[in-house]
Amino acid sequence: MRRVLGRAAALALIAGLCATTPTAGAAARVHTAPALTLPAHADGLSRALASGRISPAREALLRAQALFSPARVAAVYGPIAHGGGDATMILRDLAVRLDGLAPSDRKIAHAILARPSDSVDPQGNAWTVPEASASPDCGPNVCIHWVDSSGDKPNLTDTTPANGIPDYVDQALAVAENVWSTEVGTMGYRSPLSDVTSTDHGPDGGLDIYLSNLGPQLYGYCTSDDPGLDMPGTFTASAYCVVDNNYTEPVFQNHTPIQNLKVTLAHEFFHAVQFAYDIGEDRWLMEGTATWMEDQVYDAINDNRQYLQNSQLKYPWVPLDHFNGCCFQYGSWIWFRFLSETMGPGVIQEIWDRADAAPGGPDDYSAQAISHVLAAHGTTFRKKFASFAVWNKISRQRYSEGEAGRYPTPVGSGRFALGARNTSTGWLGVKLKHMSSIYVTFKPGSSDGARAHLTVQFDGPRYGFGPGGRLMVFSRSGAVTVKTYKLNRSGDGSVRVGFGRGHVSRVVLIETNASTRFSCWRGSQYSCMGSPLDDGRVYQFRARIS
């Protein structure tokens, strides 16, 4: 699902993510990284689930009901967090939990998961009129469905070509077939599974896409009515998708209607592809790679840049695999862009091949799949994640579209001027979450001589807990030198660099927690729904003139 990112939502996330600034002192001072103020769905339903009043399957059903009838659910459970921002994942969660529902609840769930063309619609999320007589419009792989009256109808103009089918429908079919040809034919991803076993499967087993009035909140979404999901142990499924019928609402004004249609179908079609690998995969991997895919198929549109303002490219201390109802999971696409730029775009397919949950597949979860693929390429998550942090610091110089796209750079967590009068920061520390980083800057003071040096000591948790560090030296000429900390088993290391005022403009310490260790299936929004094992460990440093 692609959500329209409004200014208010962006500011709400930013407000809760202010970096902790270390304070100089003689003894080590430990600061706790700021907590997120927008945990996913912190509302009446999450509290009812935590207290045992409802089961996970029941919570998934109620959350899906709240997409279409929020007042009805809120009347029983209290205020419900707005869930439109992750409709695909909410509906996915319901689809994979069908077997845990009572028969009466399962009937309601099937109605929610039914297609817009379904005549039984107690939830009010389907068309209110029959499908147009000329519908669907089908190509070799995809069918487009529409209505010719009510608020769900597209523009009915039929001029190019004058074939009895609205031009917008013809355009949608052409775009969808191009997306299929690119993602499946050229890039080699698995095609969406046939939906021929579904009750309302269209004229064949191809992918069905429905035009409906989704604006102004949604670009589109995909879900599944695959009857196989009623059976326990089913991990792959067919899909159908719904996209907006015009993209003319003011919120879509940054691009033309057809440009919005293109990036939406590139994104949503990839969700249908993902369902053929593992419909139950971690949310951040599903949304991050789908948002990455937009730029692979339609490179010139760049709608996904809006999500970089809510990503590690700006807020590095938020875990890379964090998922909330608004934005951060979409911003994680920059990690996959980093991998594809440094290793080739085929590395993303390798990750999905490792995540494959079809019979005989490895069935890795997200962080596990990434780690295995990196190992196959002779590197580690720790090394790549530290390099990712370096790229982000100078994003406009490193990413291929960084300068043109005016990519943001990370918010720092401290700045110190060091010289003859203030020769040391003293020991300082911060508690880092998994798969996150911080940046601390040191600048030469006015009294520093040309031969001054800076020694930055790193004292992290044990090496097995994932610590890593880089030191970036920015010279006045514009050159950037990167030094890697060689940490011992205790997580300690030291780097000495030139710090002469006439030669060095600043030195930046990057501390990374690259831990991918989890206690899985605890119901969190992180990788494998797990509880991170290495969050909150102390990362200390000391910088001093030498």
Instruction: Yes or no: say if 336 and 288 are a contact pair by the CB < 8 Å rule.
Output: yes
Q: Who's near 181: CB < 8 A, 6+ residues apart?
A: none
Instruction: Yes or no: say if 508 and 474 are a contact pair by the CB < 8 Å rule.
Output: yes
Please tell me the number of Cα atoms within 13 Å of 485 on its side-chain side. Answer: 30
Structure tokens that stand for 264 in this block = 């939406």
Closest alpha carbon to 386 in 274, 487, 236: 487
SS3 533: coil
Residue spans of alpha helices (H) in 27-149: 44-51, 56-68, 70-77, 87-95, 103-113
Q: How many residues does the chain have?
A: 546
> Bridge-partner residues for 513, per DSSP?
436, 467
Closest alpha carbon to 144 in 242, 37, 12, 256: 242
Closest alpha carbon to 256 in 171, 180, 329: 171
pLDDT at 43 (0 to 100) = 86
Per-residue pLDDT of the chain (546 residues; tens, 9 = 90+): 544 443 333 333 333 333 333 333 323 334 333 332 233 456 899 899 989 999 999 999 999 988 878 888 999 999 887 655 578 999 999 999 999 999 999 999 999 999 999 875 555 678 999 999 999 999 999 999 999 999 999 999 999 899 999 999 999 999 999 999 999 999 999 999 999 999 889 999 999 999 999 877 788 999 999 999 988 888 999 999 999 999 999 888 889 999 999 999 999 999 999 999 999 999 999 999 999 999 999 999 999 999 999 999 999 999 999 987 668 999 999 999 999 999 999 999 999 999 999 999 999 999 999 999 999 999 999 999 999 999 999 999 999 999 999 999 999 999 999 988 899 999 999 999 999 999 999 999 876 677 889 999 999 999 999 999 999 999 999 999 999 999 999 999 999 999 988 899 999 999 999 999 999 998 888 999 999 999 999 999 999 998
Closest alpha carbon to 352 in 285, 294, 280: 285
pLDDT at 4 (0 to 100) = 44
> Bridge-partner residues for 451, per DSSP?
none
pLDDT at 442 (0 to 100) = 97
SS3 405: coil
At which residue do the structure tokens 């994640």 appear? 385
pLDDT at 86 (0 to 100) = 78
pLDDT at 1 (0 to 100) = 52
DSSP conformation letters of 467-530: EEEEEEEEETTS-EEEEE----TTSEEEEEEE--TTTEEEEEEEEEE----EE--SS-SSGGG-
213-256 residue pLDDT tens: 987 778 899 999 999 998 888 899 999 999 999 999 988 888 99
Q: Structure pTM?
A: 0.91
Q: Who's near 416: CB < 8 A, 6+ residues apart?
A: 24, 422, 425, 440, 441, 442, 443, 543
Residue 99 has a CB neighbour count (10 Å cut-off) of 13
Rounded CA-CA distance 341/343 in Å is: 6
pLDDT at 19 (0 to 100) = 35
**Rounded to the nearest 10 degrees, how much is the dihedral formed by the CA atoms of 93, 95, 96, 102?**
100
pLDDT at 502 (0 to 100) = 83
Rounded CA-CA distance 492/495 in Å is: 11
pLDDT at 12 (0 to 100) = 33
